[in-house]
Amino acid sequence: MKTTDKKGSVLVIDDNEDVLKSLNMFLKHEFDVVELLSEPNKIPTVIESLNPDVILLDMNFSPGSRSGLEGIYWLNKIIEIDPKAVVILLTAYGDMELAIKSIKEGATDFITKPWDNDKLLATLKSAQKLSIANQEVSNLKQKQKLLEQDIKKEYEILWGESKVMKDLFETVKKVSKTDTNILLIGENGTGKDLISREIHDLSNRSSESFVKVDMGSLSESVFESEMFGHVKGAYTDAKEERIGRFELANKGTLFMDEIGNLSLYLQAKLLTSIQNMEITKIGSNKAKQINTRIITASNRDIHKMVKENLFRQDLLYRIETIRLEVPPLRERGDDTFIFVYHFLKKFGKKYSKPNITLNSDALNKLKTYHWPGNIRELQHTIEKAVILNESGVLKADDFVFRSSEKEEIDQINSLNLSELERSAIEKSLIKNNFNLSRAANELGITRPTLYKKIRKYAIQL
């Protein structure tokens, strides 16, 4: 059996020189590199230098030995050197117990002497594909780790110096080490998503996935597919199997933001999965156990919603083992200054204005504003001011916002239609956490129309 797919490397380890020569003659036409080794004590050095795709290892090296224990010994040594190593064991004795033992010890497959060339080549080629797949998975994991590190830097949380935030941080440290489910309550823009990431990073699951899903953006038609996944052919457009968010977060953390926006119908479906810690993909009748830590968040009063029959009490019990309230920015005192200078430095660097500052009047204006959009609104306000500033010093006039409902009403009379439209869009974006779909729905326009108006008014997202 010959193939034109000649690539990769194979290391053959056998004390019989005739076997090595025979395998070399056969395999050199199928692999780029065929390394032969008759002395097993040289295995560590050869593996580290060659890093072979596949290792073909004899099971007996001492004269007269038939136990296969030497092969098991060197198999364990190879796995110790490279846990991802793909090893095919080669023996003259078709001992099934030995074959089973070797597989349990980490071998990929088992071939008996004398071998059939077609079967041997097929086994080696399959093993090579497995080796390539293992390497790709390893590379993806490394990339994911680097990406998560970048995300962590981007979303690094600033706790501030206020007592209310220090107390919250102490509580977060305590609950992070447990697997208990947590409900975060707070206004829009207070940083609930950042705190959920912090809980994950401080937990014993930090090396696993952190998966975030905005529950308010999921319609009933896609909810089950997004959360639980589907099998191929489950419905007309299901052309391939899809993994759901629960499974994606298996062994890690699933953060469900705006949990209060779910309908009662979807709450019931969510409850079953959380209660049983298992999911069933659409189109499948087989339930799958999951091990996922649940963190939820809402800007609504969930307890009030329970009394109004808008939220299931049994679901609340499941998600609120621990309840953490995230205070609004206006209750954090001088922490506002910390955020102001943090964002000033961040956006000064981003927009090539590293020396930009702000005067005392501007700082006082930022401190006394009530910030209905909290930290998110402050961030966008600073970014916008940095972009538009040309003097290098931000003044009070560079920050335009309304400090009260009365002032808002007073200003309406002096605004033209364009200003009113821009104002309505900005307020809706802040209110809806800058979710374009929800903001468009609230404004009574389509998402593409909203996006065009955002570009028209140069509104920063």
What's the token pair of residue 437?
């779909």
**Residue whose token pair is 């600033």:** 158
Return the CATH architecture of domain 155-327. 3-Layer(aba) Sandwich (3.40)
Which residue shows structure tokens 């080629």? 125
Q: Which residue has the tokens 């190593």?
A: 85
- The H or E element that residue 449 is part of is helix 447-456
| Domain covering 9-135: architecture | 3-Layer(aba) Sandwich (3.40)
**Report field, pTM of the whole predicted structure over 0.85:** no
- Cβ neighbors of 323 (< 8 A, separation 6 or more) are 182, 183, 185
Residue 440 host element (H or E): helix 436-443
Residue 197 sits at φ, ψ, to 5 deg, of -65, -40
| 380 touches 339 (CB < 8 A) | no
Q: Name the architecture of domain 330-456.
A: Orthogonal Bundle (1.10)
How far, rounded to the nearest angstrom, does the alpha carbon of residue 117 sit from its chain's CA centroid?
45
Whole-number Å distance between alpha carbons of 102 and 59: 10
| Identical fold between 9-135 and 330-456 | no
- The three-state secondary structure class of 210 is strand
Nearest to 447 by CA among 456, 436, 457, 455: 436
| CB 363 within 8 Å of CB 357 | no
In a structure prediction context, what are the per-residue pLDDT tens digits for the chain, which is 461 residues long? 334 455 789 999 988 888 899 999 989 888 989 999 988 889 988 888 888 999 999 887 876 666 778 888 888 899 888 888 899 988 766 566 777 787 888 888 888 878 888 888 888 888 888 888 877 777 776 666 656 655 555 545 778 889 999 999 999 999 999 999 999 999 999 999 999 999 999 999 998 989 999 998 888 888 989 999 888 877 777 778 888 999 999 999 999 999 999 999 999 999 999 999 999 998 888 889 999 999 999 999 999 999 999 999 999 999 999 999 999 999 998 899 999 999 999 999 999 999 999 999 999 999 889 899 999 999 999 999 999 999 999 999 999 875 444 444 444 444 556 777 888 888 888 888 788 888 888 888 888 888 888 888 878 66
pLDDT in tens, 294-340: 999 999 999 999 999 999 999 999 999 999 999 999 999 889 999 99
What does the domain layout of the chain look like in residue ranges? Answer: 9-135, 155-327, 330-456
Assess contact for 75 and 107: CB atoms under 8 A: yes
Q: 241 phi and psi, to 5 degrees?
A: -70, 145
Element (H, E) at 293: strand 293-298
Cα-based distances in Å from 39 to 15, 42, 225, 273? 6, 6, 55, 55
Cβ 108 vs Cβ 88: under 8 Å: yes
